[in-house]
Structure 1
Amino acid sequence: MELGFVGVGAMGAPMAGRLLDGGHSLVVHDVRPEAVAPLAARQARTATSPQAVADMAETVIVSLPTLDAWREVGLGEQGLAKGGRIAKLVNTCTVGSGFVREMAAALAASGIEMLDCPISGGPPGAEAGTLSVMASGSRALFDALRPALDCWGHTVVHVGEEPGAAQTVKLVNNILSAAALAVTSEALVMGSKAGVDLEAMLEAVNAGSGRNSATVGKVPASVLDRSFAYGAALDILMKDIELALAEAERLQVPSWVSSAVRQFFRHWHMQGKGREDITSIVQMVEGFAGHTLPKTR
């Protein structure tokens, strides 16, 4: 399958690499030339703008960090909608259901069909090809693109035909993940300050009902070695939390716990930590507790 790919950052680069591993042909674009160089070295073609990608590929995948970047790439002066060949667009970004409905309508006016396809699993999952892929849009389009989606993970779920349905599922996932990281940070510092061996505590938790995405993935990957380099910036997490709360408000669903999670991460974010890794939030808890988790790996 010949595919375009716009945005090859922390998530996009390994996702594009998995497509090359799967035998697909790629034409790629990123505002940073150094980002496309490793893919070009693997025989991916490069393009100077989103429009140029859309001139060369019928199906284009988008992986971008912000709504403003997405809008410019999709509808800007040199955006995808101006391309001469594009007919299908795959959105892998977390942008909220309302934004997806807006963009799907705007792109449809240019004859472009969108498959909303946010992913979960972070950079490690993108590298390993173990992402969870949730998609909404035409079932026929989903089935046609399934060979590409399967390159990213073993769990690929079509959650509905309505534009934005996959975004809602992704926001459910993300607020659960954020809450898990927040309470895990507090709980592990508590246990460690009480004198419990950190590795033993984590082993016990992961065999019990407290097991979650932080205890299984984020903490072992980048807290135990004190690297705080899981690969996801706090700026992005804050964007996702705000989108989840906006979705809850739109649907008139109480969000007491989610609001507390937002406040938890916001305190760290307001200290200029937006570009730091999300796992660095442990350091905020450590500061208040007067106790630092030991480096065990």
Structure 2
Amino acid sequence: MTHSIGFLGLGSMGGPIVARLAAWARESGRRILVHDIRPEAMDRAAAAGAEPVAGGARELGLRCKLVLACLPSPSISEAVALGEDGVASAPGHALRTYVEMSTIGGPAMRRLAEGLAARGVALVDSPISGGALGAETGVLAVMAAGAPEAVAMARPALEVVGNRVFVVGDTPGLGQAMKLANNLLSLAGMVLTAEALSLGAKAGLDPAQMCEVINAGTGRNSSTDSKYPREVLTGRFAVGSTNRIAQKDMSLAMAEFAALGVPAPLTGLAREIWSMVEAAQGPQADMTTVAKLYEGWTGVPLRAR
């Protein structure tokens, strides 16, 4: 009998991931069953070789021992996992291991783990980092936390999702802590890079040359190395994630700090900047439009000269 793996959520990360999983499935005798609320996303997945199902999370849980999810918000993740039509809601469901790849924070992940355990399902908390381009190429960092047997069941699929799989612990929630630490550095770096380049651009420097110098020195970061040269200096503004996602992740990071009793003044300040970006540029605008906030303040575009 052909082994089926389920996948929920076919957005800017999930869509490319499913395309890679579908290619792997063809070679390994597996089937990738998928669902998304958007018909056009289902059509793209079908064109890549996945098999859309109409019954949503409930049907995937009924048919698949392993289901992965990549969803946009904590509330959606909880509804998909634990709702009345959720992935483990069908009597006699096949589901044994559920892999939550979304960034939803530690408290929400622990609620998922508890709720699914009551239904005989093990949860692997496994967020990913590397952006939409990494999802397309398989160059993602995967941060997995869960019971060893559940991680072992998920690992073959996770090794297709990303090129580096890190097992960060056996308790769901630890993957979230790792992802939020990563994201706050990335997102705060995007803000500070806009600020630093604005300083130079206002003084008369070429922002493109500034990135070259910074990348040869001690200020190098993912924004100066790739995001800004590709998306801001060119005027494309299409890194593939939104201001709403940035604000959500920074708010989750602040909540994690608060739960642990750890002061986080710089994270709090960066979150406030992202609130300003979301208000000024729009929640669905690409997160690289943080640079436009600074361009508005300085009157100088951050473009290669």
TM-score bucket (shorter structure): over 0.9
- Residue 47 (structure 1) shift: 1.1
Structure 2 residue corresponding to 1:174, chosen from 170, 177, 183? 183
| Structure 2 equivalent of residue 26 of structure 1 | 32
Bigger shift: residues 22-31 or 6-15? 22-31
Equivalenced residues, count = 296
Report Cα offsets for 1:192-233 as digits up to 9, x if no partner. 222222222211111211111111121122112111111001
Tell me how far apart the structure 2 counterparts of residues 139 and 220 of structure 1 sit (CA, whole Å): 40
Does residue 42 of structure 2 align to residue 36 of structure 1? yes
Structure 2 residue corresponding to 1:10, chosen from 9, 12, 18? 12
| Structure 1 equivalent of residue 76 of structure 2 | 69
Report Cα offsets for 1:238-269 as digits up to 9, x if no partner. 11101100111111111110111011111122
Secondary structure, aligned partner of 1:89:
strand
| Structure 1 equivalent of residue 254 of structure 2 | 245
CA contact (8 A) 1:135 1:142 kept: yes
| Structure 1 equivalent of residue 103 of structure 2 | 94
1:47-86 equivalences in 2 (<5 Å): 47-48=53-54, 49-83=56-90, 84-86=93-95
Report the AA paired with residue 146 of structure 2: G
Structure 1 residue runs of 4 or more that deviate by more than 4 Å after TM superposition: none
- Residue 272 (structure 1) shift: 5.6
Secondary structure, aligned partner of 1:79:
coil
Secondary structure, aligned partner of 2:161:
coil
Tell me how far apart the structure 1 counterparts of residues 11 and 32 of structure 2 sit (CA, whole Å): 15
Tell me how far apart the structure 1 counterparts of residues 6 and 107 of structure 2 sit (CA, whole Å): 25
Report the AA paired with residue 14 of structure 1: P
Tell me how far apart the structure 1 counterparts of residues 194 and 202 of structure 2 sit (CA, whole Å): 12
CA contact (8 A) 2:127 2:179 kept: yes
Secondary structure, aligned partner of 2:176:
helix
Report the AA paired with residue 120 of structure 1: S
1:1-297 equivalences in 2 (<5 Å): 2-23=4-25, 24-48=30-54, 49-83=56-90, 84-271=93-280, 273-295=282-304
CA contact (8 A) 2:208 2:229 kept: no
CA contact (8 A) 1:122 1:231 kept: yes
Report the AA paired with residue 59 of structure 1: L
- Residue 235 (structure 1) shift: 0.5
Secondary structure, aligned partner of 2:150:
helix
Cα 1:272/1:211, change in 2 over 3 Å: closer
Tell me how far apart the structure 2 counterparts of residues 218 and 69 of structure 1 sit (CA, whole Å): 28
- Residue 46 (structure 1) shift: 1.2
Report Cα offsets for 1:67-96 as digits up to 9, x if no partner. 111122112232101132111100000001
- Residue 144 (structure 1) shift: 2.6
Runs of 5+ consecutive residues of structure 2 not aligned to the other structure: none
Tell me how far apart the structure 2 counterparts of residues 293 and 45 of structure 1 sit (CA, whole Å): 44
Identity of aligned residues (%): 38
- Residue 21 (structure 1) shift: 2.4
CA contact (8 A) 1:226 1:295 kept: no
Q: TM-score, normalised by structure 2?
A: 0.94
Report the AA paired with residue 22 of structure 1: W
- Residue 295 (structure 1) shift: 4.8
- Residue 34 (structure 1) shift: 0.7
Runs of 5+ consecutive residues of structure 1 not aligned to the other structure: none
- Residue 162 (structure 1) shift: 1.3
Cα 1:206/1:93, change in 2 over 3 Å: same
Bigger shift: residues 252-261 or 15-24? 15-24
Bigger shift: residues 239-248 or 80-89? 80-89
Q: TM-score, normalised by structure 1?
A: 0.96
- Residue 140 (structure 1) shift: 2.2
Cα 1:99/1:281, change in 2 over 3 Å: same
